[in-house]
Amino acid sequence: MNKRKIEFYVGLFVVLGLICSSYLFVVLGEIGFIRDTRYPVYGFFTSVSGLKKGARVEMAGVEIGIVSNVMIDKERLLAKVELKIDKNMTLSEDVIASVKTSGIIGQKYVDIAPGGSDILLEPGQEIYNTESSLDIESLVRKFIFNNDKK
């Protein structure tokens, strides 16, 4: 092969590699250049210990979104969790959001129990019915120290 053909194939290989890498960054990184495929809703919890940004949001065991931010609301002094829900999923205003654990020591996620209302949540609205996570560590501590007193 002559030198020009080799350079052509190397250049073609590099360009294809860059295109494939860019595609992987967009797909695996969930970067939405064209449009956002999720809308935000907010929930206020008394405790979200262990819940992290990027955690799953599930309904009936199926992932319908992600936790995009966990912060403290300075006015209410509660944990404010921003959930990004898939646009093809509609939530009624009376859904129940619960922080749960997958398995005994698994990762935390938000489970959405469907409601029966005809009024739907709009982007940016609040989920009023929330249940905080069960803190196993504090339960074990209470059990151990209560048994010592007996």
Q: Are residues 72 and 11 in the same domain?
A: no
| Position 142 in a domain | no
Do 61 and 121 lie in one domain? The reply is: yes
What per-residue confidence (pLDDT) applies to 32?
56
Residues 60 and 44 in one domain: yes
97: number of Cβ within 10 Å = 23
pLDDT in tens, the chain (150 residues): 688 888 999 999 999 999 998 888 877 766 655 567 889 999 999 988 888 999 999 999 999 999 999 999 999 899 999 999 999 998 999 999 999 888 777 788 999 999 888 888 898 999 988 988 776 777 777 888 876 555
Residue 66 and residue 86 in one domain:
yes
Whether residue 54 contacts residue 108, with contact meaning beta carbons closer than 8 Å, is answered with: no
Residue 57 and residue 108 in one domain:
yes
- Are 3 and 19 contained in the same domain? yes
Q: Tell me, what's the pLDDT at 1?
A: 66
Question: Do residue 64 and residue 8 come from a single domain?
Answer: no
Output the pLDDT for position 2: 86
Burial of 130 (0-12, 13-18, 19+ CB in 10 A): buried
> 43 and 113 share a domain?
yes
Q: What is the pLDDT of residue 147?
A: 63
How many Å apart are CA 98 and CA 114, to the nearest integer?
11
pLDDT of residue 84: 94
Counting the structural domains of the chain, the total is 2
Domain that holds residue 22: 1-34
Q: Are residues 2 and 55 in the same domain?
A: no
Same domain (yes/no): 6, 43:
no
CB atoms near residue 118 (< 10 Å): 8
Q: In terms of domains, do 47 and 112 share one?
A: yes
